Amino acid sequence: MDRETRMRRIWETIQDIPRGSVANYGQIAEIAGIPRGARQVGYALRHSPQGLELPWHRVITSSGKSAFAPDSHAFRTQRERLAEEGVVMLNGKVDMEKYRWQPDLDELLWKPSSTWDED
C-alpha cells in the first residue's frame, strides 16, 4: 500500500470518530488497516491537506493523554474542544474506558467517510 493510500485511510478513520469519543493512534492505524502504524497516524495528522477538517482533537495516546505538552496552545485547544463534546480530561488524561470509540462492524463497513473521491 502506498503512502497516499495509507494517509487517506487514516484521514477517513479519524473523520469517523464520533463526537464525544476519542481514539488512540494505534487504534486508528488498526482500523485503517495499517497494523503497528501508530506513528504513521501522527505523520498523517501533521501532513493533512489544508482545508481538510479533521477532528484531530479526538486523537490521543493509548494511555488517554494528549500528545501535546500540557502548557502548549495545542493541548489547551484539544482539551477545550473535547470538553465542548462532553469528554472530560482530568489531570491531562481522558478516561479511556468511558470515552474510547468502539465501533461495531456495521459502523466500520458502512462508515460515513465512504464519500471520498476516488481519483
pLDDT number for residue 105: 74
pLDDT number for residue 3: 87
pLDDT tens digit string along 11-43? 999 999 999 999 999 999 999 999 999 999 999
> According to CATH, what is the number of the domain 3-114?
1.10.10.10
Quickly state the pLDDT bin for 112 (edges 50, 70, 90): low
Q: DSSP for 31-66? A: HTT-TT-HHHHHHHHHTPPTT----GGGEE-TTSB-
Could you tell me which of 91, 32, 97 has the C-alpha nearest to residue 62?
A: 97
- DSSP conformational letter for 101: -
CB 5 within 8 A of CB 40: no
pLDDT tens digit string along 52-81? 999 999 999 999 999 999 999 999 999 999
Ranges of each domain in the chain = 3-114
**pLDDT surpassing 90 at residue 111:** no
